[in-house]
Amino acid sequence: MHHDDHRFEQATQWLLKLKEHPEPPVFEQWKAWLHESDENQKAFEECILLDSKLGAIEPHRAERLIRLATQRASNNSTFAKPLALAASVFAIAITLFMLHQGAGDTYTTAIGESKNIILSDGSELFLDSDSRIKVLMKNTERQVQLLQGQVMFNVAPAPACPFTVKIDEFMVQVLGTKFNINKLADEMVVSVAHGKVKVSDPTSPDVYLTANQMYNTENDKLSQRKSDQFANWQSGKIVFNNSSLENAILQINRYSEKPLKLSEPHSTALKLSGTYNIADAQQFAALLPKVLPVNIIDKNTYWSITAQ
C-alpha cells in the first residue's frame, strides 16, 4: 500500500472513531496522532473535505467550523493550524451540536447501547440504554426534554443561563450540578450527586434537592440515598428499593432484546427490592420466582410472568 494511502486510511479511521466515540480519551489519542507530522494533519484535512463531499458533513458546516476554529486559534500562531483543525474536528465529532442547536437535536440509544454527549457549554450528558432526548441551546437558556429512558447530567455552571430538563408535566431546573433522571411509565425519579436542583409540577409545590437526595414523583417522596448508589446503571447495576414489579420490568427491558412481559394485571402491585446486573435479563428472570410469587415461562421471543 502506498504510504499516502496508508496515512489517509488512518485519518479515515480516526474520523470514524471520533464520530462514534466522542469521549475525551479518544480525542486526546487523536490529537497525539495528529501532531506526529504535518502529513497526518494534511491527510485528516483531506478526509474531512471528502466526508463533506460525500454528504456525511454538509460542506458549508465543515467550512464554517474550520473558519471559526482558525479565528479562535489565531492568537497563538505556532499552534494555529493544529488547534484550528482540532477544534473543527472535535466539533464534528460531537455531531455538529453547536451548528444545529437552533433547531434542536434529538439523541437516541438502542437497547444495550449507551452514549456520552458533550454540549456546546461543556455540559456532559450520559444516555442510558433505550433512551431518547431532545436538546435546544439558546443564549439565555439550555433545555433538554427527556422523552424516554434515563440520563445522567453533569451540568457546566452558568448562572445567567439556566439549565432545565422537561419530563412530561415536570420541570427540573439547575444552575450547575450532577444529577440523574429516570423516566418510567407512571413516575419519574430524580437523584442528585452534588449541587442543587428544583423540581416543578403545575399541581404541586416546588421540591428542592441537594447532594445525595432523591425524589420520586409517584409517592411525592424526598429521601436520602448513599453516594455510591448514584447512577448505578453506569457501573452495570440496577437497584430496586420497594419498586413496583411493573417499573422494575420496564427498566430491565431497556437492556435486553428479549423482554419480560406481565401476563396478569394484578402482578403489577408486587414490590421488588435488591441489586441486579443490567446486562443479564435471563438471570433476572430466573431470580424473580425466588423473591416473588410468580412463575417465568420462556416464550422464545419473550419471558412471560404469571402468578404462582
Which CATH number does the domain housing residue 160 bear?
Answer: 2.60.120.1440
Contacts (Cβ under 8 Å, ≥6 apart) of 11: 40, 43, 44, 46, 47
**286 assigned to some structural domain:** yes
pLDDT of residue 20: 63
Model-wide pTM > 0.85:
no
User: Span 219-240, mean pLDDT?
Assistant: 74
Q: Contact 91/83 with Cβ under 8 angstroms?
A: no
Percent over 90 (pLDDT), the chain:
19
pLDDT at 92 over 80: no
pLDDT at 72 over 60: no
Domain co-membership, 113 together with 10: no
pLDDT of residue 130: 93
- Domain around 262: 236-307
**61 assigned to some structural domain:** no
Domain co-membership, 194 together with 123: yes
The count of domains in the chain is 3
Write out pLDDT tens, residues 248-293.
Answer: 898 899 988 899 998 877 676 788 888 888 878 888 999 999 999 9
pLDDT of residue 103: 52
**57 assigned to some structural domain:** no
Residue 296 β-bridge partners = 305
Name the band, by pLDDT with cuts 50, 70 and 90, for residue 67.
very low
Domain co-membership, 212 together with 276: no
pLDDT of residue 175: 66
HEC sequence for the chain: CCHHHHHHHHHHHHHHHHHHCCCHHHHHHHHHHHCCCHHHHHHHHHHHHHHHHCCCCCHHHHHHHHHHHHHHHCCCHHHHHHHHHHHHHHHHHCCCHHHHCCCCEEEECCCCCCEEEECCCCCEEEECCCCEEEEEECCCCEEEEEEEEEEEEECCCCCCCCEEEEECCEEEEECCCEEEEEECCCCEEEEEEECCEEEEECCEEEEEECCCEEEECCCCEEEECCHHHCCHHHHCEEEEEEEEHHHHHHHHHHHCCCCEEECCHHHHHCEEEEEEECCCHHHHHHHHHHHCCEEEEECCCCEEEEEC
Name the band, by pLDDT with cuts 50, 70 and 90, for residue 151.
very high
Domain co-membership, 170 together with 119: yes
Domain co-membership, 194 together with 110: yes
Residue of 74 and 258 predicted with greater confidence:
258
Among 293, 301, 302, smallest CA distance to 260 is for 302
Residue 295 β-bridge partners = 306
- In which residue are the cell numbers 444545529 written? 100
Angle at 183 between CA 168 and CA 223, to 5 degrees: 105
**10 assigned to some structural domain:** yes
Domain co-membership, 163 together with 249: no
Name the band, by pLDDT with cuts 50, 70 and 90, for residue 232.
confident
Cell numbers at residue 127, please?
444516555
Name the band, by pLDDT with cuts 50, 70 and 90, for residue 94.
very low
pLDDT at 23 over 80: no
- What CATH number does residue 295 fall under? 3.55.50.30
Domain co-membership, 243 together with 192: no
Burial class (CB within 10 angstroms; exposed 0-12, middle 13-18, buried 19+) of 157 = middle
Boundary residue ending a domain (11, 27, 43):
43
**82 assigned to some structural domain:** no
pLDDT of residue 52: 54
What's the chain's average pLDDT?
77
